[in-house]
Amino acid sequence: QQKIELADIVIAAVGIPGLIKGSWIKPGAIVIDIGISRLDDGKIVGDVEFDVAKTRAGFITPVPGGVGPMTVATLMENTLLAQKLSIS
């Protein structure tokens, strides 16, 4: 918690819903939430308590709708690269 409260950039990729409380986010910080979890009610959430964090952060990625497409694109790119390397 103490390190997060001082951070200018927070990158969360743990997979524990709401692990990082929105009140811990330093005002103006950049928050990149990579974590994704499905709650018992079916709602998809990230590692960061989004509703509170968005009022403090200078920029925050939502879950869903944030970095997921970039993750898929990078996975596809790396798969193609691995295939090219395997035949050279």
Question: Which of 23, 14, 11 lies closest to 66, judged by CA?
Answer: 11
Question: Which of 4, 3, 9 lies closest to 58, judged by CA?
Answer: 9
For the chain, give every domain's residue range. Answer: 2-87
User: Can you give the pLDDT at residue 88?
Assistant: 74
pLDDT per residue over 10-64, tens digit each?
999 999 999 999 999 999 999 999 999 999 999 999 999 999 999 999 999 999 9
**Token duo for residue 79:** 């798969």
The reported pTM is 0.82
**Token duo for residue 23:** 């009140």
Superfamily of domain 2-87: NAD(P)-binding Rossmann-like Domain (3.40.50.720)
